[in-house]
A and B are shown apart, each in its own frame.
Chain A
Amino acid sequence: MLPVVGLGSWRTFNVGDDPQARDECVAVMRGFFARGGRLIDSSPMYGSSQPVIGYGLRKLGRPKALFSAEKVWTAGADGPAQVEATRRHWGVPSFDLLQVHNLQDWEAHLPRLFEMKAAGRLRYVGVTTSHGRRTAEVERLVRSQPLDFVQVSYNLRDRELEARLLPLAQERGVAVIVNRPFNEGVLIDSLARHPLPAWAGEIDCANWAQFLLKFVVSHPAVTCAIPATSQVAHLVENMGAARGRLPDAALRRRMVDYFASL
């Protein structure tokens, strides 16, 4: 069972060779594992994020709790070489989850990933999309392919997936990872000037980050959200969403209404 809060690495872990920033990322990873975190997600598209994660895993003694989620993001023929390069960056024997990033060349990648899974070199296979793009194609793949995971963008503002894709994934038993739960920080920034409603205490939310995350992970189809941060203080807030009560359907409706009223 995966904890409902994972760790994304888009933008935040792309710090290049900066030793100070790399060590700050290690501190985030240390705090993540110390609070029961497991799933870390990255991609070849994320600049230096992969080597930074590998650096962190080495520094932390390769935590056994790690659930490694990666992606393949290249033309089909280059897929195996890219997956191997990614594995070396992380320094892991194999990945728990490999996803076809933004569905790029999925016709070539998915059969290979299923082969890897059948051979025991991979536990799970998935596809990703973001910002609500190509949702219809993801739906088709959920229906036609034996996917284990889909990764999509979903948050209190962007809720279109509630209509079809999320119920479909739930019906098919496909796990859902949610990226951009804060819409790349825009939601946190825009909500910062508003007070947290008093009833947020009913679901153990102490800040807006937890309010937003609890909304996402309380959807019955969602397996986990992967907020990204480079600051331990923000990580602590995010991981707080994995504890305490979650909103029921009525309270989720109230969260939507309150957000719309701001």
Chain B
Amino acid sequence: MDEWWSYSPRNLLMFSARTYYRLFELHNRALWPAHLAALAAGIAILLLVRRRGVRPGPLAAALVVAAWLGVAWSYLEVRFATIHTGGRTMAIAFAVQAALLAVIGVAWNRSRLAPPAGAVRRAGLGILTYAVLIQPFVGRLLGRPWAQAEVFGLAPDPTVAATVGLLLLAPRAAWFLWPIPLAWSLFSGMTLWAMRAPEWWVLPGLALAAVALEVGKRRR
């Protein structure tokens, strides 16, 4: 597209807010009751990383990898690609991220570094808790129906947020694990902003805070 920089995100929004949220409704209806398994997986990750003295790498990473693969196929490829010309590319990016995340499980347990403590740990746990336990309620609190809830492992935003939290909690997550979650956070924030969704700032805000904390973590 020529002069693409002169377009605002609102000019580029390809679909209506109604269509965007209906996509989650159709998605949830098609996958129910997979939500229970996804929620159990999210809680399992939370419990694993909360327990001190346990090296949660492989299991937590396996669950997150499964979540990224599930979102790549069942949401981005099957649903989102029907309303966004870049949907298939995004699905491929999520699959690539799933492959990259597999390394975190190995690296986590082999790392000689101690897991982060203090503010970084609290932020990581906070973001992970938000993604798994709070985000599904956000749409309802904003007046959208339950049927359009966004659930970790099934919808991209909570899956990305949970991953950002997990990366913060790892002793040291390789730099290449960050770009795709950050790119999605930016894209999602712009999409929600263009749709005038009041929660547009949440995911980009969490991602930016996580990057700042990660930089601080690496400098120590």
Residues of chain A touching chain B, judged by Cβ–Cβ distance below 8 Å, are 11-12, 14-18, 20-21, 45-48, 102-104, 131, 133-134, 184, 230
Is B59 an interface residue, CB under 8 A from the partner?
no
Is B213 an interface residue, CB under 8 A from the partner?
no
Beta-carbon nearest neighbor of B8 in chain A = A131
Say whether B10 contacts A15, CB under 8 Å: no
Of B1, B10, B18, B82, the contact of A104 (CB 8 Å cutoff): B1
Residues of chain A within 8 A of B7, CB atoms compared: 131
Q: Produce 1/0 per residue, B82-117, CB < 8 A to A.
A: 111100000000000000000000000000000000
Residues of chain B touching chain A, judged by Cβ–Cβ distance below 8 Å, are 1-3, 6-7, 10-11, 13-16, 18-19, 22-23, 26, 79, 82-85
Beta-carbon nearest neighbor of B87 in chain A = A47
Say whether A133 contacts B11, CB under 8 Å: no
Cα–Cα, bound, A131→B8 (Å): 11
Say whether A11 contacts B16, CB under 8 Å: yes
Cα–Cα, bound, A198→B39 (Å): 58
Given contacts A18-B22, A133-B3, A184-B11, contact A12 B82 (CB under 8 A): no
Of B2, B18, B85, the contact of A133 (CB 8 Å cutoff): B2
Residues of chain B within 8 A of A11, CB atoms compared: 13-16
Q: Closest CB-CB distance, B31 to chain A, in whole Å?
A: 15
Of B3, B83, B84, B85, the contact of A15 (CB 8 Å cutoff): B83
Say whether A184 contacts B15, CB under 8 Å: no
Q: Closest CB-CB distance, A152 to chain B, in whole Å?
A: 15
Of A47, A131, A133, the contact of B15 (CB 8 Å cutoff): A47
Cα–Cα, bound, A57→B56 (Å): 56
Beta-carbon nearest neighbor of A12 in chain B = B16
Cα–Cα, bound, A183→B6 (Å): 16
What are 6 of the A-B contact pairs (CB < 8 Å)?
Answer: A11-B16, A14-B15, A47-B82, A47-B85, A102-B1, A133-B6
Cα–Cα, bound, A47→B84 (Å): 6
Residues of chain B within 8 A of A103, CB atoms compared: 2
Say whether B85 contacts A131, CB under 8 Å: no
Cα–Cα, bound, A17→B22 (Å): 11
Say whether A21 contacts B11, CB under 8 Å: no
Say whether B10 contacts A14, CB under 8 Å: no
